[in-house]
Structure 1
Amino acid sequence: MEEIKTRSLPPELRTLLSVATSEKNVEREFNLYNESSVRKLYGSTIEGHLVGCIGVEFLAPDRCEIKHIAVLPQHRSRGIGKKMIKFIRDKNSLSFICAETDRDAVHFYEKFGFDITSLGEKYPGGERFQCVFSN
């Protein structure tokens, strides 16, 4: 895992971010990582190819919110997402991590040990969940 520091958006990162956010928001979200001092974007590679990314916003020195997390479909169920969260937690000595997600990803966070709370139908047709991990 290493921090992604590039001014241009590589195609493989565009693909990953489009999984984690809508395609129309990819450029805006990528630019926020470049412009914000409290946001960091990290990539996970296999044999030199980007297969996953995690983007966080630091709320305090030991607290963060996962803004984006994605793994390419062909590399899922191999523990890459879990490794990315552990990396962020350990690298930054985090005692609190939160994320908001949909029904499709809520079980991923449950398996990691996050506490899950339904936020209800925050957007038309889709229930959202608040996921919180604390030591």
Structure 2
Amino acid sequence: MVGEAFAAAATLKESHLMMSLFDASISADVILTAFSNAASRGRACNVKKLVKLLANKDRVPQEFKHKAFVIAAQLGHDAILQILCDGIDDYWPLAVLKEALAAAKYEEVKTSIQKVICDQLLDPKCPWAPMVKLIEDQTNDSTNASG
């Protein structure tokens, strides 16, 4: 019951009401539903607070952050994608970025996702960047061998 009220309050302009309903019983599913509700209404203030909740690695499994990223792409909210990228201190898996890119309808959103992909590719700390480097090296080796 409290979870439903929390998720519904995410659509309102007053984020203090939404946060007053938050407690330890609110599940990751409900936080994601609240995020979707707030994002669909363009409630950036609520989205920022919900991203902080989603970023809690002890409470929220990573898959919910990934789902939120795809939801933001589907809804066409470039600003909300940026809030997610700024608020979640982690790398986005390539599969999630591909899914979000496929779900995005607007060029502005696609460009933002492509920028995230490029930024992560150029970051040597990114878990999947070394794999891309290995593929690139193999491609260069085969090109040099044939030339």
TM bin, normalised by shorter chain, reads 0.3 to 0.5
Give the greater-gyration-radius structure (CA).
Answer: 2
- Tell me the TM-score normalised to structure 2 length: 0.33
Q: Which has the higher strand share?
A: 1
